[in-house]
Structure 1
Amino acid sequence: MTTRRNALLTLLAAALATVAGPALVSAKDFPKPKEPLVINVVDVAGDLQLSQRALEKFAETHPDLVSKFVYTQAPAPELAGKLKAQQAANRLDIDFVLTGNDALAAGIEQGLWTQILPEYKDMFPDLEELYLPGAYAMQKMGRGQGFVDSWYPSGPLLEYAPDRVKDLPATAEELLAWCKANPGKFMYARPANSGPGRTFVMGLPYLLGDKDPQDPIEGWDKTWAYLKELGTCIDYYPSGTTVTMKELGDGTRDIIATTTGWDINPRYLGIVPKDYKVSTLKGFHWVSDANYMAIPKGVAEERLGVLLQLIAFVLEPEQQAFMYDHGYMYPGPSIKNVPIEMAPQDSQETIKNFGRDEYASLIADNPIEPPLDAKPLVAMFDKWDREIGAAKK
């Protein structure tokens, strides 16, 4: 009887373990590299501007794990196809990806990322306690396959040349009327490869009072009609945000879509004049944005262990302070309790000289919404490319 009872208890324990999920893993469960690794990093979000100093610090403090990082930058829309081809050929040469929610969403849809949570959650602190609320909302959208490394309320904001724009639009309807009266003088970039571009598009349902701002296919009737009409007075849609900044700075455009970071950083770099202004439209809601760290499926076991330690390292307060950078994603840090005083002195000077006093009240006094989740985001990109972007080709 005792033997039978023990056998039943053993079976019950096994069943419960199966229900509870896979066994959790810690760093000590991974084989240590026989020699320091060269880690290949692909950045499709401009994230290296914020995170490279943190990555290099990891190599400095963990010379037994990493000898150096090799960096490559690429357009976000190309990443999923490249990863898929390498994984199919079993010849993966990308170890670590820095991405916005554009390429992250495409990779989630196609099953290209390593599932980090819950399997490896013991390698990280309590994420809900760690992250700022807005960053944690975006962390959940990563489906345990991407980790937010930087976050900001984003936009949509309008940036304009005050010497050329005397009748500044105050509503979405006034922006459309202004665009028609000044053809070719307003611009935003292709949403699938531009943070300000997709933030502008995702912010319109709130401005226009659409049925469901989180459902671009069934809930954006007003938004799609507006975008089509707006397209009649837009010359073209650049493939990335930088072009919009250059054309605003050189006088080709008078108003563009921007975000807090894309406002501060190009003025710091001298691409856009320092005295250019930003504004919001009536009914404004922030649509937040973030950059993520992700690991492609198929990396070797010894590399996976090192990369998981790297992610945990980047989420430490000292490394998060680098995310202030030169305002690229203002404020930038994704975790709690990282004041500007922790940032490098050059970052503090940039924010002091090129930040805007009004951002504190804009962030405090307006709703902050999450962006579209992975599946609707991919659907939005596809519909925009087919129905809006294609009209200019």
Structure 2
Amino acid sequence: MKVKGIVHCIGGVAAALCFSLTATSGFAESVSLNVVDVAGNLALTKAGLEAFKAKYPDLVSNITYTNSPAPQLPGKLKAMQNAGRSDIDLVLTGTDALAAGIEQNLWMKLPDSQLQAADAKYAPGPAAMQKLAQGYGLEVTFMPAGPLIEYNPDKVPPAEVPKTPEQLLSWCKAHPNKLIYARPANSGPGRTFLMGLPYILGDKDPTDPINGWDKTWAFLKQLNECVPYYPGGTSAVMKELGEGTRDMTVTVTGWDINPRALGIVPANFKVQPFDNMKWVNDAHYMVIPKGVPKAKVDVLLKLMDFMLEPAQQAMTYDDGYFYPGPAVKDITISQAPQKSQITIEKYGRVEYGGWLKKYPNVQPLPAAKMVEAFKKWDSDVGAQKTK
């Protein structure tokens, strides 16, 4: 902590006092932090980050925020680290860039004591998701994601709403160019759909995308014939869905609620689970790239702990973007800001409560396997149609 009111420390008692104060606090100067978001997580956590800056002005002088596509960040970080630079202090990421960063050895290992303290705070689902970080990050938000089908009820009659992959393929073939989803490597709904299909289709090994997903890859190649193209992110998908260019997509809880709350997608659009589906959990993480100076690391570790406190966790209900949002146990919507409570009341779905009880939860692929799945989808499915 920056020591105020002592201008000079010279000899004897004064020097001892100066040393004692700075050593006890552990922070000599306030720092400026550069936070990069590759998951849309700032919608959930920016208020909490700003609260930390307001509470500890002697630790943080400024926070700058930047957004970046998840697939581009690992290469950018690798180049920085090879050049001995550290322009990025904290990354907010989903499982995509988390996995790529672990594979490429980009993230700093966190202290065991901090990881153990966080584990004691997490609810059961988030606690399982935290294991995916392998000690390189702290989970900050959680969502039992999907996959779900979202559709325009004015264009898709109830009898035509797909409940199985086979029905989805049939509908897509009968309505070419009306189904769309984004590239899985940069889309929460896209990767949830990709990882959920092996369970729904009954593939040999849903945890092995190379040797155990024969049915999934065959299905996606067939579906590819009636999908016009694959946007680079989910926002573009929702824009086309809301404008009426497309009639159907795959989604997750947060990407169902939030675009309707924001008016990007009409409020009357519907969602439908697949028969015999399993919820593929999703999460966002806070990770520190290697090479960040120790003075900043010390502040960042304190900031990460702060973001797991109840007040900051309750903010992550936000406008339903990553529904429900909190990773820490015993955080309810009644603790969220009033605006969040109103939004969830209006745009949330009562069906979610029943579906969350009806269908079991599974973990997404671990880092290395997820990267394998993304690479295979890029080469075998989306190679000619991704924009």
**Alpha-carbon separation, structure 2, partners of 1:196 and 1:134:** 19
1:133 to partner: Cα distance: 1.2
- The question of 1:156 aligning with 2:150 is answered no
Q: Which residue of 2 aligns with 1:297?
A: 290
**How many angstroms does 1:124 deviate by?**
5.6
Structure 1 residue corresponding to 2:81, chosen from 72, 87, 103: 87
Q: Counterparts of 1:304 and 1:154 in 2: how far apart (Å)?
A: 31
Per the alignment, residue 232 of structure 2 pairs with: 239
Aligned to 1:11: none
Match of 1:178 among 171, 176, 179: 171
* Number of aligned residue pairs: 363
Separation (CA, whole Å) in 1 of partners of 2:120 and 2:31: 32
Aligned partner (choices 118, 126, 130) of residue 117 of structure 2: 126
Matched, 1:331 2:306: no
Q: Matches of 1:276 and 1:196 in 2, distance apart?
A: 16
The reply to whether residue 386 of structure 1 matches residue 379 of structure 2 is yes
Aligned residue runs from structure 1 range 275-294, under 5 A: 275-294=268-287
1:318 is aligned to 2:326: no
- In structure 1, the residue matched to 2:129 is 138
CA contact (8 A) 1:113 1:296 kept: yes
Query: CA-to-partner distance for each residue in 1:268-307, whole Å, 9 max, x for gaps?
Result: 0000000110001111110010000000011111111110
Secondary structure, counterpart of 2:277 in structure 1: coil
Shift of 1:364: 1.4
Q: Deviations over 1:329-367 (max 9, x none)?
A: 000000101011110000001000100000011111111
Matched, 1:58 2:52: yes
Match of 2:353 in 1: 360
Contact preservation (8 Å) 1:41, 1:98: yes
Residue 279 of structure 1 aligns with an amino acid whose one-letter code is Q
Is the contact between residue 115 and residue 135 of structure 2 (CA under 8 Å) also seen in structure 1?
no
1:347 to 340, 350, 359: 340
Task: Name the amino acid aligned to 1:271.
Answer: I
> How many Å separate the matches in 1 of 2:88 and 2:25?
20
d(CA) in 1 for partners of 2:254, 2:193: 14
RMSD: 1.4
- Matches of 1:190 and 1:126, distance apart in 2: 36
The CA deviation at 1:240 is 0.1
**Cα distance between partner residues in 2 of 1:363 and 1:282:** 13
Match of 1:256 in 2: 249
One-letter code of the match for 1:204? L
Aligned partners of 2:97, 2:200: CA distance in 1, in Å? 26
Quick one: distance in 2 between partners of 1:159 and 1:192?
Answer: 20
Mapped partners of 2:76, 2:24: distance in 1: 27
Give 2:370's match in structure 1, choosing from 356, 372, 377.
377
Contact 1:123-1:309 within 8 A present in 2 as well: no
1:107 alignment partner in structure 2: 101
3-state DSSP of counterpart to 1:97: strand
Superposed displacement of residue 126, structure 1: 3.2
Report if the CA contact (8 A) 1:33-1:303 is conserved: no
Using a 3 Å threshold, how does the CA distance of structure 1 residues 335 and 284 change in structure 2: closer, same or farther?
same
Equivalent residue for 1:13? none
Pairing 1:309–2:305 present: no
Give, in whole Å, the separation in 2 of the partners of 1:126 and 1:81.
32
AA in 1 matched with 2:141: S
Q: CA deviation at 1:175?
A: 0.5
Work out whether 1:38 is the aligned partner of 2:29.
Answer: no
- Residue 170 of structure 1: CA displacement? 1.8
Q: Could you tell me whether the CA contact under 8 Å between 2:148 and 2:273 is conserved in 1?
A: yes
Offset, 1:132: 1.3
In the aligned structure 2, how far is the partner of 1:237 from the partner of 1:385? 10
Q: How many Å apart are 1:31 and its aligned residue?
A: 7.7
For 1:91 and 1:380, how far apart are their aligned partners in 2? Answer: 31
Cα distance in 2 for partners of 1:102, 1:131 equals 21
Amino acid corresponding to residue 94 of structure 1 in structure 2: I
What do the CA deviations read for 1:72-105 (whole angstroms, capped 9, x no partner)?
A: 0000001000111111111111000000010010
Q: Which amino acid aligns with 1:85?
A: A
Q: Which runs of 4+ in 1 moved over 6 A?
A: 28-31
Shift of 1:33: 3.9
Q: Is the 8 A contact 1:32 1:302 kept in 2?
A: no
Shift of 1:146: 1.3
Amino acid corresponding to residue 234 of structure 1 in structure 2: V
Partner AA of 1:121 in structure 2: D
Quote how far apart the aligned CAs of 1:138 are: 1.2
Contact 2:39 2:70 in 1 (8 A): yes
Q: Is the 8 A contact 1:30 1:301 kept in 2?
A: no
Equivalent position of 1:229 in the other structure:
222
Structure 2 CA distance for aligned equivalents of residues 29 and 189 of structure 1: 51
Q: Percent identical across equivalent pairs?
A: 56
- Are the counterparts in 1 of residues 44 and 316 from structure 2 also a CA contact under 8 Å? yes
* Counterpart for residue 72 of structure 1: 66
Q: Contact conserved, 1:31 with 1:302, CA < 8 A, in 2?
A: no
> Partners of 2:378 and 2:138 in 1: how far apart?
27
Unaligned runs of 5+ in 2: 1-21
